[in-house]
Amino acid sequence: MPAMFECPPLSTPGLFVTGTDTDVGKTVATCAIAAATREQHRRTRLGVMKPFATGCRQAKEGLLNEDAEALAHFADCQ
């Protein structure tokens, strides 16, 4: 059976962290990976992202999520 689509080759390596439920440590693990990467003086080229998040607060910058802010902090990106 032919593939419905082909994925383009990655130009840089990536990592996707997933878990089976809420509050199982995905963000903590990702922060640790980002911090370790930073300590090795390696740059996360495209940064980190949290594509789905629940809960946010209103700030002057707009809606902010605590987990996404933690990821940005540990990856040292905005």
Give the catalytic positions in this structure: 50
Residue type, 66: E
Per DSSP, helices labelled H in 1-78 are: 26-39, 66-75
Span between the terminal Cα atoms of the chain, in Å: 43
Rounded Cα–Cα distance for residues 26 and 68 (Å)? 12
